[in-house]
């Protein structure tokens, strides 16, 4: 499988890569964006795959990614500690 690039629907980065493909050629592919970490399947509706139809409320500006809050740490299990 060659890792073709495509445009990310969420941040419009043009470096999104094909990261997986169906064992049956042409059935589906999985794409991932290195800029915003959005991942999508080719079989999802256009609202999830097409940058022109992706909901504007969920888009991300790549210039602001570095200013976003980090994911919180997962707390220790109860009783572990």
Is residue 18 a contact partner of residue 34, using CB atoms and an 8 Å limit? no
pTM metric for this prediction: 0.76
Report the pLDDT averaged over residues 6-28.
95
| Whole-Å CA distances, 3 to 21, 27, 38, 67 | 10, 16, 16, 29
CB neighbourhood size of 64 (10 A): 9
Neighbour tally for 53: CB within 10 Å: 11
Give the model's pLDDT for residue 80: 60
Residue 46's pLDDT band (boundaries 50, 70, 90)? very high
Helices (H), the chain: 46-49
Q: Residue 18: what pLDDT? A: 95
**Per-residue pLDDT band at 75 (split at 50, 70, 90):** confident
Tell me the pLDDT band of 8, cut-offs 50, 70 and 90: very high
């Amino acid at each position: 499988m060659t890792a073709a690039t495509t445009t990310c629907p969420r941040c419009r980065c043009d470096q999104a890569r094909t990261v997986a493909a169906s064992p049956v050629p042409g059935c589906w592919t999985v794409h991932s964006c290195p800029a915003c970490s959005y991942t999508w399947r080719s079989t999802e509706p256009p609202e999830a795959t097409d940058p022109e139809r992706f909901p504007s409320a969920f888009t991300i500006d790549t210039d602001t990614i570095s200013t976003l809050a980090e994911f919180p740490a997962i707390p220790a299990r109860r009783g572990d500690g």
